[in-house]
Amino acid sequence: MDYFLTEEQIMIRDLCRQIAEERIKPVRAELDEKEQFPTEILKALAQADLFGLIIPEQYGGLGGGCLENCIAVEELSRACVGVSTSFAASFLGAYPIILFGSDAQKAKYLARIASGETLAAFALTESAAGSDAGGIATEAKLVGGEYVLKGSKQWITNGGKAGIYTVIAITDRAKGARGASAFIVEEGDPGFSYGKKEVKMGIRASITSELIFNDCRIPADRLIAREGMGFVVAMRTLDKSRPGVGAQAVGLAQGALDEAAAFARTRKQFDKPIITFQAVAHMLADMATKTEAARALVYSVARFVDSDAKDISKASAMAKLMATDAAMEVTTNAVQVLGGHGYMRDYPVEKMMRDAKILQIYEGTNQIQRNVIGQELNKEYGRKG
């Protein structure tokens, strides 16, 4: 199915597929085993102008939207979600600037992100503030012409590798979530350092680190939008990015299906390829159907987001929820189809199964997505009543 993609979108898909096949697949097992950041692959993506995918043209980008992002991320994830996470996290860090940044902030930072000169990262999560984003403890105080940040952020993708960080911190604790603000922090800012680098179950090619702000001083003009807008900035950013997580899940599920189907055609038991056994064929059929259904929903939601619709929270949450649950099931079943082989690191499906789990957790757990969807349904049916 071509999903009515434009010529430009097909070019993006084919380019990312080529990079995935030629640059990612041959090294994905090594990157995972060594927990090695994919520096050379990211350079190749930068040379292909793919870091400019969602950056407006006036700042050196390609001016694409959510759908173009999803197409690219899907193809990269088909080969390795660790690599695609390192790539997509830069867009997550860029979204607050794209959506809410001043003209000066956009001019200063977006061109650097679009060129791949520097990676970006988004810093919201803390040890006591995961699903409860209102529990942020990191503070920012205006002192003279500078903001002084104090606290830490946990589990930040691209932490220690990015040069630009969008950070959510509390500027007025008395106002609760409405007292949060968003800031741009650069590597090298005084008082800014990196803490623990995490050792993870999956996406091991992606760097996940702690950020530490020890009286970190930044110019006042690094405030995004205005004080008190931090929670809005964060939620709008996640609404925009969550279909991309769904796209990661679609690509991962497709990659697992590819491996499982190919194995089932060549693996023989009782003198027959196992794909001829109904139990295996039905499992593959369900895997293929759920992958295709997830792709259809993600693409539909991406188009909805690109229509500049105002209320995208429910649709965005649905795309993330449905696709990532499907990827977890498909990758688990891929291991089952391969049997004992699937459990061994000689085959990629065990890695795919490990990688799939994080998609149900980061950028809002799937339990939180159900909360978002339920809350929106309550509003909708309340209006109808």
Q: Which residues are catalytic?
A: 363
Give the whole-angstrom CA distance, residue 71 versus residue 10: 9
Identify residue 82 by its one-letter amino acid code. Answer: G
Give the whole-angstrom CA distance, residue 243 versus residue 227: 28
Closest CA to 33 of 194, 202, 146: 202
Note whether 62 and 55 are within 8 A (CB): yes
Q: What number of other Cβ atoms are within 10 A of residue 83's Cβ?
A: 27
Compute the chain's Rg from CA coordinates: 21
Q: What number of other Cβ atoms are within 10 A of residue 127's Cβ?
A: 12
Note whether 246 and 322 are within 8 A (CB): yes
Read off φ and ψ for residue 225, nearest 5 degrees.
Answer: 60, -110
The DSSP annotation for 4-38 comes to: T--HHHHHHHHHHHHHIIIIIGGGHHHHHHHT---
Six-digit token string for 93: 């860090």
Which residue(s) pair with 208 in the sheet? 157
Note whether 330 and 342 are within 8 A (CB): no
Identify residue 62 by its one-letter amino acid code. Answer: L
Sign, CA dihedral 151-157-160-166, equals negative
- DSSP 8-state secondary structure symbol assigned to residue 48: T
